[in-house]
Amino acid sequence: MSDSRSGARILVDQLLLQGVDRLFCVPGESYLGVLDALIATPSLRLIVNRHESGSAFMAGAYARLTGQPGVAFVTRGPGACNAAIGIHHAYQDSLPLVLLVGQSPTSVLEREAFQEIDCRRLFGSISKWVAQIDRADRIPEFLARAFQSATSGRQGPVVLALPEDVLEQSARTADARCHQSVQAAPSDTQIAALRRMLGKAQRPIVLVGGPGWSAAASENLRGFAEANHLPVACAFRYQDVYDNRHPNYVGDVGLGVNPQLAERIRGADLVLAFGARLGEATTSGYTLLRAPVPDQALVHAHPGLEELGRVYQAELMINTGMPQLAARLAMITPIENPIWADAVVQARAQYRAWQLRPEILSRHPPELDPWQLLQELRATLPDQAIVCNGAGNFSIWLHRFFGYFAPGTQLAPTSGCMGYAVPAAIAAKISAPEKAVVCISGDGDFLMTAQELATACQYNAAVLFLVFNNGMYGTVRAHQELRFPGRVSGTSLRNPDFSQLARAYGCAGFSVRRTADFAEVLAQALASLRSRRLPALIELACDPQLLSPSLHLQDVRGDTPTPAPKFPSAG
């Protein structure tokens, strides 16, 4: 038993024991003791945000990038509510995150005291576990369980409320141990069954996704796909699991999926879904696979037991972590001369064709060509550059035309939340300062969390921000034009001058209107990042008529009624 310590000190000691090296926060008077204890704990780096959504998003991005649990600290009611979007995101993205909430003192709880919030009810449906710690001597136990739960099985957020007086109490209590992330592994029987199903298949396809793909796991997956000539597709916003340049890679299955790829999945006789949740965005609204019993034979491997059979009754369900699965896949005796070997070549050719400049740009040439711009960006950035985006139709261009070459290079919200990209990019740069980090946002998306530019400058996070400015909530406008043509309501935006806004924060600010100017401005922005060690922002003046790679306003409003295209939302 150690000496008597304050609850705040016990808490900080547990964070260190759980391997935490940074804390994203907005301070509150509810946890002053913790802030004070951190002064004597330089190994725990405090990153102070300007809005609690920033803290939660950053903790989530840190988790997705490093595989380690991210930790955010916020104050009671107002702080907890601001952080909620990041908790919802971490839940849908299956990210290990521990949110600590400074709570009102126990002496006044349940009176609706000043800023009191019931964390159990607020976070109950969007986290793996929510608890309040009522005794300082139990802090080690609660912290250990929080980290254990957040990091095991299907990973996710955990919320702990810490009443002010509990942090001030003194207690003699023993420390906990570091958590162990527990993941299941496939059994021999399951691997044998998978091999048998593959042996009987004629049109198999692999669909990979979810977090937890280490570089080694991705490499093992590559070996399995190559040896068996299997086409590999990536689930919505998990495009970095498999090198997009590899001949077996056939595209991503998300909002705006290549129709030929969608057809290939519909027509497959075996879908090997590894790590993907098979959510709404990945299944084109539960149409690529029918629920509950798909037409295709389905092997569903997922770290979360509760995820298996939740929507789809797969023929073979495997509860496993991805590294554990991939290690076994790499050892499977390959199918000799599979009859589907030509299919991978054809699917790859269809993917390459899907990446070509879309004909809409020839019919309606914009002053600033988003396709050309993304080619330029990909050619300029290193393979390992981390690219972050939030929600909006601009992201359809990115997902379709920009290639991801290595695990851990895509940070994008499967929860479809706007405002994610700015904090995610800053967290990425702080966590991996040696890597190039680019943040790609829409004008609406960017302004949801633009205040974190101050955080970026404060911590010298030299991120390149690209803002696709079309003066509107374009995704919603696109739906509006299709459902209620010409009746614009609630989707137009009067924006600030983004380059000046960036400069006001201390970033370098640029603006590009014409395709021909982009390369030069990009070079200037990158040079500025290197020399100033501060962020740079390029505002891209986008054609407001170009609503997506398959939708131009003139086509919708033209005299001849166009057949209502099935418009993908990038929410």
Ligand X SMILES: Cc1ncc(C[n+]2csc(CCOP(=O)(O)OP(=O)(O)O)c2C)c(N)n1
Binding site for ligand X (CB under 6 A): 391-394, 416-419, 442-445, 468, 470, 472-476, 571
Minimum gap (Å) between residue 181 Cβ and ligand X: 30
* One-character DSSP codes across 42-54: TTSEEEE-SSHHH
Whether residue 535 contacts residue 456, with contact meaning beta carbons closer than 8 Å, is answered with yes
* Rounded-to-integer distance, Cα 499 and Cα 539, Å: 6
125: left (phi over 0), alpha (psi -120 to 50) or beta: alpha
- Give the three-class secondary structure for 505: helix
Using CB under 5 A, pick the residue from 443, 452, 481, 539 that binds Mg ion: 443
Residue 481 lies near Mg ion (rule: CB under 5 A) = no
Nearest to 566 by CA among 252, 236, 256, 286: 256
Q: Tokens 């005299």 map to which residue?
A: 559
Whether residue 498 contacts residue 443, with contact meaning beta carbons closer than 8 Å, is answered with yes
- Give the three-class secondary structure for 521: helix
**Binding partner of residue 151 among ligand X, Mg ion, none, CB cut-off 5 to 8 Å per kind:** none
- Would you report the helix, strand and coil content of the chain in percent, each value rounded to 5? 40, 20, 40
Minimum gap (Å) between residue 49 Cβ and Mg ion: 24
Q: Which CB atom, from 111 or from 494, has the smaller least distance to ligand X?
A: 494
Minimum gap (Å) between residue 496 Cβ and ligand X: 13
Token digits of residue 505: 């924060």
Q: Which CB atom, from 65 or from 447, has the smaller least distance to Mg ion?
A: 447
Residue 442 lies near Mg ion (rule: CB under 5 A) = yes
**Binding partner of residue 417 among ligand X, Mg ion, none, CB cut-off 5 to 8 Å per kind:** ligand X
* Rounded-to-integer distance, Cα 370 and Cα 548, Å: 10
Q: Which CB atom, from 344 or from 501, has the smaller least distance to ligand X?
A: 501
Minimum gap (Å) between residue 497 Cβ and Mg ion: 16
Q: Which CB atom, from 111 or from 487, has the smaller least distance to ligand X?
A: 487
Q: Which stretch binds Mg ion (CB under 5 A): 63-71, 171-179, 434-442, 526-534?
A: 434-442
Minimum gap (Å) between residue 533 Cβ and ligand X: 28
Whether residue 419 contacts residue 445, with contact meaning beta carbons closer than 8 Å, is answered with yes
Minimum gap (Å) between residue 50 Cβ and ligand X: 17
* Count of chain residues binding Mg ion (CB under 5 A): 5
Q: Which CB atom, from 247 or from 544, has the smaller least distance to Mg ion?
A: 544
Residues 6+ positions from 155 with CB-CB distance below 8 Å: 63, 94, 95, 96, 181, 211, 212, 303
Q: Which CB atom, from 24 or from 394, has the smaller least distance to ligand X?
A: 394
Whether residue 236 contacts residue 282, with contact meaning beta carbons closer than 8 Å, is answered with yes
Q: Which CB atom, from 231 or from 444, has the smaller least distance to ligand X?
A: 444
Residues 6+ positions from 132 with CB-CB distance below 8 Å: 103, 119, 120, 160, 161, 162, 163
Minimum gap (Å) between residue 90 Cβ and ligand X: 14
Minimum gap (Å) between residue 478 Cβ and ligand X: 7
Residue 474 lies near Mg ion (rule: CB under 5 A) = yes
408: left (phi over 0), alpha (psi -120 to 50) or beta: left
Residues 6+ positions from 433 with CB-CB distance below 8 Å: none
Q: Tokens 């802030």 map to which residue?
A: 35
Length of the chain: 571
* Rounded-to-integer distance, Cα 138 and Cα 148, Å: 16
Q: Which CB atom, from 296 or from 470, has the smaller least distance to ligand X?
A: 470
Residue 324 lies near Mg ion (rule: CB under 5 A) = no
**Binding partner of residue 391 among ligand X, Mg ion, none, CB cut-off 5 to 8 Å per kind:** ligand X
Nearest to 183 by CA among 213, 224, 219: 213
| Burial class (CB within 10 angstroms; exposed 0-12, middle 13-18, buried 19+) of 3 | exposed
Residue 419 lies near Mg ion (rule: CB under 5 A) = no
Whether residue 562 contacts residue 556, with contact meaning beta carbons closer than 8 Å, is answered with yes
Q: Which CB atom, from 69 or from 416, has the smaller least distance to ligand X?
A: 416
- Give the three-class secondary structure for 498: helix
Minimum gap (Å) between residue 474 Cβ and Mg ion: 4
**Binding partner of residue 268 among ligand X, Mg ion, none, CB cut-off 5 to 8 Å per kind:** none
Q: Which stretch binds Mg ion (CB under 5 A): 222-230, 376-384, 441-449, 556-564?
A: 441-449
Minimum gap (Å) between residue 477 Cβ and ligand X: 7
**Binding partner of residue 408 among Mg ion, ligand X, none, CB cut-off 5 to 8 Å per kind:** none
Minimum gap (Å) between residue 476 Cβ and ligand X: 5
Q: Which CB atom, from 142 or from 567, has the smaller least distance to ligand X?
A: 567
Nearest residue to Mg ion, scored by beta-carbon proximity: 442
Nearest to 252 by CA among 264, 235, 268: 235
Q: Which stretch binds Mg ion (CB under 5 A): 211-219, 255-263, 304-312, 435-443?
A: 435-443
Q: Which CB atom, from 351 or from 498, has the smaller least distance to Mg ion?
A: 498
**Binding partner of residue 418 among Mg ion, ligand X, none, CB cut-off 5 to 8 Å per kind:** ligand X
Q: Which CB atom, from 31 or from 468, has the smaller least distance to ligand X?
A: 468
Residue 470 lies near Mg ion (rule: CB under 5 A) = yes
Minimum gap (Å) between residue 309 Cβ and ligand X: 29
* Rounded-to-integer distance, Cα 515 and Cα 368, Å: 4
Nearest to 75 by CA among 102, 57, 94: 102
Residue 370 lies near Mg ion (rule: CB under 5 A) = no
Binding site for Mg ion (CB under 5 A): 442-444, 470, 474
